[in-house]
């Protein structure tokens, strides 16, 4: 069963599909520029030793995103 989670809630090995962005302004533009648009699959590859930021596979690129910014990305969890 699918459920909604924030990008920052994904743990290594977990996947989701972008549903919506709740951010605005420059941060929204940055997230869109790195490919976080609706229906994009995302996989958490790992977290830094302190837990923040986390590395995500997005459209073939590995991108580090802080938890603070990841809270504004809603995913359909798998």
pLDDT at 57: 97
Contact at 8 Å (CB) between 34 and 63? yes
Q: Is the pLDDT of residue 61 over 90?
A: yes
pLDDT at 3: 87
Contact at 8 Å (CB) between 27 and 41? no
* Per-residue pLDDT tens over the stretch 13-50: 999 999 999 998 999 999 999 999 999 999 999 999 88
Q: Is the pLDDT of residue 1 over 70?
A: no
Q: What domains lie within the chain, and their CATH numbers?
A: 3-77 (2.30.30.90)
Q: What is the pTM of this model?
A: 0.88
């Amino acid at each position: 069963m699918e459920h909604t989670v924030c990008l920052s809630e994904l743990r290594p090995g977990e996947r989701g599909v972008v549903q919506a962005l709740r951010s605005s302004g420059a941060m929204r533009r940055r997230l869109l520029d790195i490919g976080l648009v609706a229906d994009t699959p995302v996989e958490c590859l790992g977290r830094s030793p302190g837990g923040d930021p986390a590395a995500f596979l997005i459209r073939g690129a590995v991108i580090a995103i802080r938890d603070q910014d990841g809270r504004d990305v809603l995913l359909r969890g798998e």
